[in-house]
Copies of this chain bind each other. A is one copy, B any other.
Amino acid sequence: MAPTYRLKTRSTVHEFDLIHALRKQHTLRMPSVIRGIGDDAAVITSKAGQWTVLTTDLLTEGIHFDLRTATMAEIGFRAAAANLSDIAAMGGTPQYLLAAVAIPRTGSSRHVHQLYRGMMAACRPHRVRLIGGDTSASCGGWFISLTLIGMVLPHTALFRSGAQIGDHLYVTGTIGDALAGLKLLNEPPARVKRHPHTAALSAKHRQFLIGRHLRPTARVAVGQWLSTHGFATSAIDISDGLSGDLRHICEESHVGVEVNLGALPLSPACRAYAASRTLEPMNVALTGGEDYELLFTVSPHQRQRLERTALTRGFSLTRIGEIRPYRFGIQALSLQGERHRLANTSYTHFT
């Protein structure tokens, strides 16, 4: 997520102005920096020609998590998953973790251990090692800043900037689930009874959606497969919501996009949630942040090979649109066949 430099809530500081200003002021061209500020992760190269991928992600209490609705282990898991997802979006292999944690006065040693257990539970399947960090007292709440380091084969890293006109747009898994899960967690308990349509959302759906928010899966294997086979021309992980992350790809690649709303992959649970809350399911999918699915573009020549090998690998991919010229902008094709400009409705956190 990190080198994107995005500010996660409304504030007096404007996120994109800040990113652009920092990029302009502090990024000096250097041959060893393959990619600096402005992608899911930074990429540097060594004298021996190896490529290293680095990302850092900050989670703060009251902005990214709420101790009333998540355990310390779940917070740790999500923090690690967010970083793993950034490495996945670069097509990299995550290897080493550094964790900086500020602990409030109410925090106990037990809380800290649970936090680390959660982090390492997310890291274990990828054999990521904790190699260091820092710990401090906090006068505010909990602050968790993780840095994840990985590798990617030289010249195979996936950037946001490579999308070409005519490329197909794909997304992994299903989208909108994490937002639905977060909204369910934040509903006051009384709400469930008050809502006339609540019956439509089963306990199983509820559990699935909350799980997708609290224990997201970083698509590391898909990212590696896309990069090593040279399938993707650009990639990003969905952490700002589909509409926001599409915008990043379009800006960095200087292209437009047409998204087929009817093709958006929605889980039955997300559809049930939208129905129960009389929401438009497409809106949940477009604005939902932190699904940590991969959004990527593929040349038309690669389409068949991609879809065939995805099937044999058991990867769930959905083609949801096509890259257009820059002047086309970001447009959505509705179920009724109507086109409209897509508003930037990225979800901003719960403050």
Contacts and interface: CB of A to CB of B under 8 A. Distances in A.
A151 B48 CA distance: 13
Contacts of A100: 2, 56-58, 100, 145
A108 interface: yes
Nearest to A99: B56
A278 interface: no
B137 A140 contact: no
A103 interface: yes
Interface string A102-122: 110101110011001000100
B36 A130 contact: yes
Count of this chain's copies in the oligomeric assembly? 2
Contact of A138 (B27, B101, B136, B140): B140
Nearest to A17: B109
Interface string A145-170: 10101010000000000000000000
What DSSP secondary structure best describes chain A's contact surface? mixed
A268 interface: no
A136 B48 CA distance: 35
Interface stretch (A3-11, A198-206, A308-316): A3-11
A202 to B, nearest CB: 34
A25 B131 contact: no
Contacts of A103: 7, 11, 13
Interface stretch (A59-67, A184-192, A280-288, A297-305): A59-67
Given A46-B46, A109-B14, A116-B25, A54 B135 contact: no
Interface in A1-59: 1-15, 17-18, 21-22, 25-28, 30, 32-33, 36-37, 41-42, 44, 46-50, 52, 54-59
Contact of A145 (B1, B17, B52, B145): B145
A262 interface: no
Contact of A129 (B28, B49, B96): B28
A335 interface: no
Contacts of A26: 116, 120, 129-130
Contact of A133 (B5, B52, B134, B139): B5
A98 interface: yes
A109 B12 contact: yes
A36 B98 CA distance: 10
A336 interface: no
B52 A107 contact: no
Interface in A63-95: 63-64, 95
Contacts of A108: 12-13
B147 A60 contact: no
A4 B100 CA distance: 11
A12 B134 CA distance: 17
B60 A143 contact: yes
Contacts of A138: 60, 63, 140, 143
Nearest to A2: B134
B46 A5 contact: no
11 contacts: A21-B113, A26-B116, A41-B132, A48-B49, A56-B98, A56-B145, A58-B101, A58-B134, A60-B137, A138-B143, A139-B351
Given A18-B135, A30-B129, 4 more contacts: A3-B132, A13-B108, A42-B131, A58-B101
